[in-house]
A and B are shown apart, each in its own frame.
Chain A
Amino acid sequence: MAIERILKDDASEEKGERARMASFVGAMAIADLVKTTLGPKGMDKILQSTGRGQSVTVTNDGATILKSLHIDNPAAKVLVDISKVQDDEVGDGTTSVVVLAGELLREAEKLVASKIHPMTIIEGFRMAAKCAREALLKRVVDNKTNEEKFKMDLMKIAKTTLSSKILSQDKEHFAKLAVDAVLRLKGSTNLESIQIIKKPGGSLKDSFLDEGFILDKKIGIGQPKRIENANILVANTAMDTDKVKIYGARVRVDSMAKVADIEAAEKQKMREKVDKILAHGINCFVNRQLIYNFPEELFANAGVLAIEHADFDGIERLALVTGGEIASTFDNPESVKLGHCKLIEEIMIGEDKLIKFSGVEMGQACTVVLRGASHHVLDEAERSLHDALCVLSQTVNDSRVLFGGGWPEMVMAKAVDELARTTPGKRSHAIEAFSKALVAIPTTIADNAGLDSAELVARLRAEHNKEESNAGIDVISGSVGDMSELGISEAFKVKQAVLLSATEAAEMILRVDEIITCAPRRREDRM
């Protein structure tokens, strides 16, 4: 008698041991993949796309690497997801979270092999995570009240974040850039106001932060190239043809003369519109949509600088920066707020011409111009800078800071070990395993630096046995160093997010005891 199959063909089912194996293997493969990018001596990966064009990306950022992979294994997909979420929430720590989750699962596998039920392991992990978080909270430093110290903290955090990326050669320069940019935001976490412009050419050192606003557009022909004390009108209106908005309207005439009449009327309409705009008393007009040649000429005659097709984000930023409002109707010139800036001029960066607005009223937005040897360098520089900006903007809101270099992990490991000793029952094995997994991060950083990780970690542990120690791994000298002297700091929010996300992901994967895969959707054969 045949055993009835209950699933469709091509669908498969894996139970118990095999399911667990499959999950662990998948998750650990992903963790091992990104392990070598961790830390200041971490290496980058080259990603080659399989699509048309075969574009190449060189990157160190965990989330970027994982996003571009095509993965089948469901457990690995869970890890990719947490990396992406870490990127969206905090910006940095995307590699650490995957490495920690992978280590937790590796330790858990050993426990399962010694016949401990996964539920017990999960309980132990939860207790350990709670204890670890509390341990960190006790040692956290908060310098919100002291401006100077706070700025120093931000600089240190920026340098630590950038130290594992391609910008590490010019850490000082970029850290200062990032801190300046974020402090100008005055507490908002909206990074859209910081515009990043990439121009190939020059070297990374030539990048600079501009307090004004730079627009990647050229000034039209015949228009003034330099305006002082500018009044700017920012608009979002159609300056090509003024479309009739009433639905279903058509122009229907019966002689050529009438057609000419109507064309003249359209021209007149455009002229009136330009006149209305000019009545605002402006000397610069920025439009999100197109400006046709006729109105452009009219503007040039009036000595007004007209810029067209600025992108929507640019318009929002421009409005933020200059203090103007985005207008779409021009009937009430008195009530429309105009933007102001001291100087508008055309500048050259590399070989391109750009428009620079300087001396703006509200300094909330700013521009970072990145120069670099090639597009790949610039792309990676932008990603790294973005990571640093994200972390800094989060820290401005939640100003708790920790030391870096593996210090928080050792502190947590010590606290969790003590908890393990005082907990009766099988859970204590799980708590011990959690502590071992935490130590893996400093081990990885040391490994990537080519140092003897076992020796270093042992020394570090001994240092941490003393009260109030500030010891961490110093990869430059290759030994244990004092983190407060070396100035290596990290944001508390990043570490907390890494801890909680990794624990959650490990829990999710541990709870699974069966994997059911549906048949892949049949596609019609393409030609």
Chain B
Amino acid sequence: MALAFDEYGRPFIIIKEQEQKTRLRGLDAQKANISAGRSVARILRTSLGPKGMDKMLSSPDGDVTITNDGATILEQMDVDNQIAKLMVELSRSQDYEIGDGTTGVVVMAGSLLEQAEKLLERGIHPIRIAEGYELASRIAVEHLERIAHKFEFGENNIESLVQTCMTTLSSKIVNRCKRKLAEISVKAVLAVADLERKDVNLDLIKVDGKVGGKLEDTELIYGIVVDKDMSHPQMPKQIQDANIAILTCPFEPPKPKTKHKVDIDTVEKFETLRKQEQQYFDDMVQKCKDVGATLVICQWGFDDEANHLLMHRNLPAVRWVGGVELELIAIATGGRIVPRFQELTAEKLGKAGLVREKSFGTTKDRMLYIEHCANSRAVTIFIRGGNKMMIEETKRSIHDALCVARNLIRNNSIVYGGGSAEIACSIAVEAAADRYPGVEQYAIRAFADALDAIPMALAENSGLQPIETLSAVKSQQIKVT
């Protein structure tokens, strides 16, 4: 009750509606925050590592998601507590920047908080603890840089990249075919990578999934897969050496962009109008044929008459292709996106070695494969799977693997996994703690203990004895250094 009494002894209220607000102060507040952070970390702890388990999340609309990826789990959980929301943000930013390690970061944050709680109870001031943590983290990062290796890779030597990607995939449900998926991801990233600038644009890699088939049928296509079919059922289903015209104007009579009305007041005008209409369609199709296009891809739709004319003049066409896909097709085939028929010229056409329409299962689902493109900078990873949830999880896993490959291209140093990097840093930090006088020493030791949390979680999830295993590994590491 935040009541205050003024000089006359009359009470007055400091905070509005203060019965409805609760207030925690001091150590209680910090403990409450820490316990919130720890409970989030506890949820994710069992998902860590190759023996980590998945979580099933049910959304407000009844959709079910089964996943192992930390960022996804936290996003789908409807958290209310503010500190928990901070943890969610932490995981999300790790996902955006790096792509992988979203579970590990939250587990580590939770264990840092746990260690801090013990220090707070001893009466150490939080700011001193924070400063100690800063020092310790700097020591740890330096040590990490010392033990990292740089390794070589190239177009033909992708083995080390593949191995790193396999580590990422081994904790997900798709680890049954982790070798194949790792190879697909690495090849995809190398195909779109800019090796001089050491950068990769992941937008050029399209990840698309279709229910059916098996996980092993997932493939990398050096081209684009579009979820559309030919606009007329009697158009040819396969085209070799296609010249592709990429249009964003509909095959319909032109709609001027200014508001207007066309008034017909005599029969002759009616006739002329009619003839004009027919002429339009003819012109449009003729223009496409004149520049030598053998396939038309359009962002908008076709009028029925135009559709029939296209089929009649042997010009296969695809309509209602989305904007993003259109751009990818333009990049892959080297064509230019044309907004008006008048601007269509032969140089603006894209080239592809093979375009075919493929159908799946017993449904009418058909997809268009555009392959052997001139410029193979845009690729598609086409995922098949047993059911929708598998496909969603596979998409997320591949995204993680792609990010890992991208990070390696940006900075090709690696450290070894399995908790060894964490244990090495923990030993280094512990050793450095003795050199600091003052209370920071305790904070630095606490940091070292927190670093042990990740290998311990890995051991626990695998069913080994955590403390025994950890001490055995530590003694091994100290022996070697």
A contacts, CB < 8 Å to B: 1, 3-9, 11, 13, 19, 23, 72, 74-75, 77-78, 81-82, 85, 88-91, 117-119, 126, 189-192, 236-237, 242, 244-254, 258, 261-262, 264-266, 269, 316, 319, 325-329, 331-332, 335-336, 390, 393-394, 500-501, 504-505, 507-508, 511-521
- In-complex Cβ contact of B362 among A11, A89, A251 (8 A): A89
Does B361 sit within 8 A of A, measured CB to CB? yes
Whether B265 lies near A390 (C-beta < 8 A) is no
Report A-chain residues with C-beta under 8 Å of the C-beta of B59: 518
User: Which residue of chain B lies nearest to A71 when distances are taken between CB atoms in the complex?
Assistant: B62
Contact with A along B299-313 (1 / 0, CB 8 A): 000011101110110
12 pairs of residues in contact across A and B, judged by CB atoms under 8 Å: A4-B36, A5-B80, A11-B77, A190-B359, A262-B267, A269-B274, A329-B308, A329-B309, A508-B173, A512-B66, A516-B57, A517-B57
Residues in A neighbouring B51, C-beta threshold 8 A: 117, 119
Docked Cα-Cα span, A511 to B31, in Å, equals: 33
Tell yes or no: B340 within 8 A of A by CB.
Answer: no
B57, B234, B309: which contacts A319 (Cβ < 8 A)? Answer: B234
Please indicate the chain A residues that have their CB under 8 angstroms from the CB of B213 in the complex.
Answer: 89
- B362:A191 contact, CB within 8 angstroms: yes
Chain A residues with Cβ below 8 Å from B31 are 1
Q: How far is the CA of A355 from the CA of B62 in the complex (A)?
A: 47
B305 touches A328 (CB 8 A): yes
Chain A residues with CB under 8 Å of B362's CB are 88-91, 189, 191, 390, 393-394
Note all chain B residues with C-beta closer than 8 A to A514.
43, 46, 53, 55-56
Cβ contacts under 8 Å, A1 to chain B = 28, 31-32
Complex interface: chain B residues within 8 A of A316 (CB):
233
Task: Given A81-B388, A390-B362, decide whether A237 and B304 contact each other with a Cβ distance below 8 A.
Answer: yes
Top 8 nearest A-B pairs by Cβ distance? A328-B308, A513-B53, A521-B60, A74-B64, A252-B263, A6-B84, A249-B262, A511-B54
Q: How far is the CB of A89 from chain B (nearest CB, A)?
A: 5
Given A246-B253, A500-B214, A505-B173 contact (CB < 8 Å):
no
Residues of chain B with a CB closer than 8 A to A507's CB: 173
Report how far A517 CA is from B56 CA in the complex, Å.
Answer: 8
- Cβ proximity bits B372-394 to A, threshold 8 Å, 1 near / 0 not: 00000000000001111110000
CB-CB under 8 A from A393, the residues of chain B are 362
Q: Is the beta-carbon distance between A118 and B308 smaller than 8 angstroms?
A: no
Residue of B61, B308, B364 near A190 (CB, 8 A) is: B364
Q: 4 more A-B contacts (CB under 8 A) besides A119-B53, A269-B274? A: A8-B79, A237-B305, A329-B281, A514-B43
Contacts of B271 in A (CB 8 A): 265
> Most chain-A CB neighbours within 10 Å: which of B40, B265, B271?
B265
On whether the beta carbons of B81 and A88 are closer than 8 Å, the reply is no
Most buried by B among A4, A19, A192: A4
Q: How far is the CA of A95 from the CA of B465 in the complex (A)?
A: 43
Q: Which of A4, A6, A250, A394 contacts B263 (CB 8 A)?
A: A250
Q: A6-B80, A245-B303 are in contact. Are A253 and B176 (CB under 8 A)?
A: no
Residues of B with C-beta under 8 A to A119: 51, 53
Q: Are A6 and B66 in contact (CB under 8 A)?
A: no
Tell me, in angstroms, the Cα distance from A336 to B266 when the chains sit together.
Answer: 34
Q: Which of B261, B267, B307 contacts A261 (CB 8 A)?
A: B267
- Measured CB to CB, the residues of B under 8 A from A are 28, 31-32, 35-36, 39-40, 43, 46, 51, 53-62, 64, 66, 68, 73, 76-81, 83-84, 173, 176, 211-215, 232-234, 252-253, 255-256, 260-267, 270-271, 273-274, 276-278, 281, 303-305, 307-309, 311-312, 359, 361-364, 385-390, 463
Contact check: which of A90, A189, A245, A512 meets B56 at CB < 8 Å? Answer: A512
The answer to whether B387 touches A265 (Cβ under 8 A) is no
Residue of B nearest to A325 (CB): B234
Determine if B60 and A74 form an interchain contact, defined as CB atoms under 8 angstroms apart.
Answer: no
CB distance B267 to A265 under 8 Å? yes
Contact B387 A19 (CB under 8 A): no
B387: contacting residue among A23, A82, A90, A519, CB under 8 A: A82
* Chain B residue contacts of A81, Cβ below 8 A: 387-389
A512 B55 Cβ-Cβ under 8 A: yes
- Given A265-B267, A516-B55, check contact A521 B61 (CB 8 Å): yes
Chain A residue at smallest Cβ distance from B308:
A328
- Chain A residues with CB below 8 A from B43, complex form: 13, 514, 516
Q: What residues of chain A lie closer than 8 Å to B255, measured between beta carbons?
A: 247-248
Q: In the complex, are the beta carbons of A88 and B56 less than 8 A apart?
A: no
Whether the pair A89, B361 counts as a contact (CB closer than 8 A) is yes
Smallest Cβ-Cβ distance to B232: which chain A residue: A326
Min CB distance, A512 to chain B, in Å?
A: 4
Whether A19 lies near B56 (C-beta < 8 A) is yes
Say yes or no: A244 contacts B273, CB within 8 Å.
Answer: yes
A254-B265, A336-B312 known; A518-B304 Cβ under 8 A? no
Task: Name the one of A236, A247, A251, A511 contacting B66, with C-beta atoms under 8 angstroms.
Answer: A511
In the complex, which of the residues B76, B81, B304, B361 contacts A4, with contact meaning CB atoms closer than 8 Å?
B81
| Residue among B84, B362, B364 having the largest count of chain A Cβ atoms under 10 Å | B362
Determine if B311 and A325 form an interchain contact, defined as CB atoms under 8 angstroms apart. yes
Contact across chains for B262 and A250 when beta carbons are under 8 A apart: yes
Question: A516 CA to B244 CA in the complex, in Å?
Answer: 49
Quick one: given A75-B56, A504-B386, are A516 and B267 in contact (CB under 8 Å)? no
B233-A518 in contact (CB<8A) = no
